[in-house]
Amino acid sequence: MNQTKWDEKAANYVRFSHKPDTFQQRVFDTLETWGVEFTDKNILDIGCGTGAYTLHLAQKAAHVDALDFSEEMLNVLQNDAKSYGIHNIKAIHERFDTLLCKARYDLAFCSMSPAVSSPAMFEKMHACAKEKVFLGWGGKRKSSLHDAIFEAFGTKYNAPRGGIELKAWLETQNIFFTCKVLEETRTSYADVQKSVENVTWHLGINGVTFDPKALYTLVENAADAQGMVENVIESEMVLLVF
């Protein structure tokens, strides 16, 4: 994982909104039907990012330790927590693989983070809390903008499979879990410069070599008459509780 790349992304990364977005609400509604409670819990949020889920958890929890290796992401989280008057969050600037879990949490939460993406980290998450909630990629992420650009530079975007891999690990370990696949289609619009920045980050995080001028031309050609670029993303996520 490249810490610098995640620091760069912090300013434009999804962040907390007082009202959960449509997909977040589906996640919380599903967890509620499964009997998952956050009220008065001591929670560890692994790879919390800018706190898009963290601050929702904190509004019910007794306390949340918000863990991320990106200091810039944590800065956004702390600023939003202050703005909304949420004071029961402790930001921890550290990697999960080096974190010493001194206490066993009531609940560990991990959403769309590469911090938990190997058998060793699956085991560590399982051991650090009584109950675990994991939302990870299900191997599908199609982008009307990114896919064509990846192909133009001779490669293909391979969606992460964290949810699928954790599910397989739980099965091999004979650990009981509850699982649901959640699909989402999301459309965004941005100007050419913002779109170039977004695609550049995705190419960089995947180690793709590219010509910046060629990239700018590709994005510019995708813009409409108003100079806006549409990006339709179809994703599949796996929600697991164990």
Residues belonging to the chain: 242
* pLDDT grade for 1, boundaries at 50, 70 and 90: low
Question: Is the per-residue pLDDT at 6 higher than 90?
Answer: no
CB atoms within 10 A of CB 31: 19
Q: What is the dihedral of CA 202, 207, 211, 215, to 10 degrees?
A: -20
What would the 3-class secondary structure string for 169-211 be? HHHHCCCCCEEEEEEEEEEEEEEHHHHHHHHHHHHHHCCCCCC
Q: Hunting for tokens 């499964």 — which residue is that? A: 34
3 state SS of 149? helix
Four-way CATH pick for 3-141+158-183+235-241: 3.30.565.40, 3.40.50.150, 1.10.287.70, 3.40.225.10:
3.40.50.150
Could you report the per-residue pLDDT of 99-121, keeping only the tens digit for each?
998 779 999 999 999 999 999 99
CB atoms within 10 A of CB 4: 10
Looking at residue 3, what is its pLDDT? 72
Looking at residue 2, what is its pLDDT? 67
- Percentage of the chain beyond pLDDT 70 is 99
Looking at residue 11, what is its pLDDT? 79
Classify burial at 166, counting beta carbons within 10 Å of its beta carbon; exposed 0-12, middle 13-18, buried 19 or more: buried
Looking at residue 13, what is its pLDDT? 84
Q: List the 178-191 sheet strands across, edge first.
A: 89-93, 63-68, 42-46, 105-111, 129-143, 228-241, 178-191
Amino acid letter, residue 168: A
Looking at residue 159, what is its pLDDT? 87
Could you report the per-residue pLDDT of 218-236, keeping only the tens digit for each?
999 999 999 999 999 999 9
Could you report the per-residue pLDDT of 136-158, keeping only the tens digit for each?
999 999 999 999 999 999 999 88
Domain boundaries along the sequence of the chain: 3-141+158-183+235-241
Residue 140, strand partner residues: 236
Closest CA relative to residue 71, chosen from 130, 145, 15, 9: 9
- Percentage of the chain beyond pLDDT 90 is 89
Looking at residue 10, what is its pLDDT? 76
Tokens in use for 1?
């994982």
Residue 38: C-alpha distances to residues 12, 42, 76, 191 (Å): 28, 8, 23, 39
Cα-to-chain-centroid distance, residue 231: 18
Looking at residue 112, what is its pLDDT? 93
Instruction: Give the mean pLDDT of the chain.
Output: 95
Looking at residue 221, what is its pLDDT? 97
* pLDDT grade for 8, boundaries at 50, 70 and 90: confident
Distance CA 49, CA 39 (A): 22
* Contact by Cβ (8 Å): 163, 134: yes
